[in-house]
Structure 1
Amino acid sequence: MNHANEFWQLWQLVPVQRALVALILGAIGLPIVGVVIIGLDIMPVRFAMMHVALFGIAIGILTGLDPLLCGLVACAISGASLTPLARSPAGLSGAMGLLMSLAIAGALLTLSISGVNANGAFELLWGSILATRTSDVVLLGVLAVLIPALFVLRRRQLGLLLFDRELATCSGVRVNQLTLVLLVLVAVAVAAGIRLTGALLVDALTLLPALAARRLANSLPGMVIAAVVVGLLVNVTGFVLAVWFDLPPGPVLVLAAGAVALAVHVLPDGRRRGWPSAEENGSHASGSVSLH
């Protein structure tokens, strides 16, 4: 009874309420970013942006500016700069590897020369969800509006690009411009998740819900909806369990998202068709690829 009372008292605290709101907003936009990561086949993006965020954080601490804001700006600029190299998934993955190496080298050099406390920078990478600020909630709220809106307004173009870049180009899609927008959104979304779970565990908010959704849906819209639903379920349930058992929320969210992804993975084939394959859609060059 005492534990139950303490649990309900915790929910009266503003930091706990703000963290829950941030997780709900994050579940609306960030899992859709995971769908983009899977569609563009850019899994290394999370690691690259983690290192870029560290570099931005180091610059922020050095200059006295908001470290997370600097990390956010650094990720956005880096995402935009990758567009010319994103001619193919292989080229983009290679660019991410180069960016990762340069970013971590720059971060370590900055920390070493300036005497910045490295522990403080790395602590931000682990996240502190109860330290979520109003500005963090606002950023996640903006992403929760912009990302679904982009999908609704550009569903056909996104479907073509995520399915086949060459097919999208032949169909008149402005591939470079759309790729630029997507890479910036991916980078900003990864940076936005730093406060909640840390860059090292940001997959709980982005990739894992999308991986589960891919097993549950047989179309791009269905995958997006399923990813958001899984994200909401995982974020709310994981955070409630973390508060109840007094555990760090980040790892609990990852374990919850991983458990859902594993659960849907072992479902019978008839219940998890996944994203249509190239063979299933090879005849749809007119742009109806996995869009309905």
Structure 2
Amino acid sequence: MGLYQKYYVFILLNLFLISNSQASEEIPKTGTSEKRKQKFELLLKRQTYSFIPYNFTSYSEKTNPNESIETNHLQQNQKVLVPAVFSYENYEKNYKAEISYYEVELVNPNSNVIRSNSTGLSAERFYYSPLARSEFETNFYKIISLIQNWNLYLGGGLRNINKYTYGKYMLDGAFQEYFYTYGPQVSLQSSYQFAENFSANISLDVFYTEGTRFFKTPIISPDTLVFTNGSAGTRGIFRGFESEISLQYKFHENMRFHLGYNQISSYFSYLHFDQWNLHYNFSSPSSISISNGSRSGNYEILRGFFLGFSVFF
């Protein structure tokens, strides 16, 4: 992360110099600036995401019929990120293009797990496998000026969601399960300038992505060995929405501060999933069990407040 932060700072410094030089050239001798016909903007956010992953929400549904599992109090699921958004607006032709990217990793997510079966009730602290999720999206909008100082952006584009689950086995750091999905989305944005240097923004994206599942077997942990069969041909699907609300303060001709809240809610499910697992326990060589790996779909949520800084030219 340190390398990326240095890279962002380097970009900001260069864009700051460029924007200042352009601003000085655009101001005529009368002292009034000409109205912009187009605008490029780079926005960097410092956002604390609270990540509720599918691994947590679906864990209680991957049990045998004779056992009940309840999960609660998820911990170590927060991450500070620096999402980047780059956009271009053309006011003569009334359109806007935008791209954005972020990546989040959870190294040690864990929660309370309460098990109930024929032998009784037990509680433990369960540690989920490390995981990661990244998103890249590109959108194209038509700008509609409803009234003075109020613009509506209607459009859509393409969203790519990648999801990794890292295995606890010999090749440390290699993934156990990986999804590469992409698909269309519909996007709506609204921007209203309610004071000279202040504006409010609301946005909503509705998306559907689908893609290939990559899975590695066998799975080796300190006490068990798991072989799987029938995992080929499985795909993953994300359906959901992203919403954001923010306030912006223009403190310089080419710079703005942003304060807002963002949430990405998606429902993940498997497609053509027909997997059987063979479990072997090292501590009990005679203990071999076979289970159906079928899982129902469940939700995955990222949400948090952010502070942002943008420079435009």
Length-normalised TM-score, structure 1: 0.24
Q: Which has the higher helix share?
A: 1
Q: Which has the higher strand share?
A: 2
Report 1 or 2 for greater relative contact order, CA contacts < 8 Å, sequence distance ≥ 6. Answer: 1
